[in-house]
Amino acid sequence: MELNNEDPGKPTPRTVLGRRLQRLRTEGELSQRGLAERVKYPHTYLSRVERGEQLPSEGLAEALDAYFGTLGLFAELLELAQHSTIPDYGQKIVENEEKAARIQVFDSSVVPGLLQTEDYARALIRISLPGVSADDIEERVAIRMRRRRIFEKQDKPLYWAIMDEAAIKRPVGGVGCMMGQVGHILKAVEASHISVQVLPFTRGEHSLMGGCLYLLTLENGATIGYAESFASGELVEAPRRLLQLTQRFDEARSQALPKDETLDLLHSYLKGYEDDDDS
């Protein structure tokens, strides 16, 4: 979902952040090396941030706010810049994730984003964006991980994920990566607000093959849908279309393994990856 390309000729949160950093640094009569010594980050990193070539990490944004006394300015610009990399058709979904009372998601080929580990997300982003720099990949990984903070809120959303068995069968990132990923899912489902089901190969065809689906239910009961395929997505708010997508989700859920059998399957895959790792 994090695939937007910014217009190089148009001011963006990324370039505004860089310019503000340069202005504050020069007003303070500091070289990049001087500022680097004070905030404990490499001057080459600060240089890339100033030129808009790289976003700061959350840690650097917080360090800059603390040093310059900017009351969260850099943290806010970072959040805006991360949000701007999400394509227009997905921005409303990401915005409403934080306000959702319930999130339902189906994915036919990969582990859903909010359940991904950093290594797994990194492997997916690297292969889907050939030629992108390592720094850009890390930025996109950070954006995806930032979305998981909704599970740290006091009023956590109910989260129900269904994934095709292909998502855990395919060794994305290699055996070690998948050990961590399957282990992370098993840890996540220990929380009472997170439910995961696997739709096994043995069920044959199903109603959501070849795509992914998000259904967000807000506190007021309204539902927003989002259907995504390769490099494209559709925001859905029309009641009739939402009914159709909800029906598809319910059909897929009825074919998926119940909780205990899903856990057994996940444990079997984890053991398989552990055995492969030892061999």
- pLDDT at position 79 over 60: yes
Mean predicted confidence (pLDDT) in 80-90: 69
- pLDDT at position 158 over 90: yes
**Which CATH number is 88-278 given?**
3.30.870
Give pLDDT, residue 9.
59
Q: How confident is the model at residue 3 (pLDDT cuts 50, 70, 90)?
A: very low
Give pLDDT, residue 251.
93
Mean predicted confidence (pLDDT) in 255-263: 96
Give pLDDT, residue 50.
93
Q: Which of 122, 211, 212 is nearest to 161 (CA)?
A: 212
Mean predicted confidence (pLDDT) in 31-49: 93
Tokens coding 115: 């359940």
Give pLDDT, residue 90.
63
Mean predicted confidence (pLDDT) in 123-152: 87
Please write down the long-range contacts of 131-138, taking CB distance under 8 Å and 24 or more positions apart: 135/48, 135/53, 135/54, 136/54
Q: What is the mean pLDDT of the chain?
A: 88
Give pLDDT, residue 82.
75
* pTM for the whole structure: 0.75
194-199 sheet: strands from edge to edge: 194-199, 158-164, 100-107, 212-218, 223-229, 232-236
In the chain, where the domains are located = 13-84, 88-278
Q: How confident is the model at residue 46 (pLDDT cuts 50, 70, 90)?
A: very high
If you average pLDDT over each of 126-130, 133-137, 176-180, 238-242, which comes out highest?
176-180
Q: Which of 261, 244, 120 is nearest to 199 (CA)?
A: 261
User: pLDDT tens-digit profile of 190-232?
Assistant: 999 999 999 999 998 887 887 789 999 998 888 999 888 655 6
Give pLDDT, residue 97.
87
Lowest mean pLDDT among 41-45, 52-56, 80-84, 165-169: 80-84
CATH of 13-84, one of 2.60.40.420, 1.10.600.10, 3.30.470.20, 1.10.260.40: 1.10.260.40
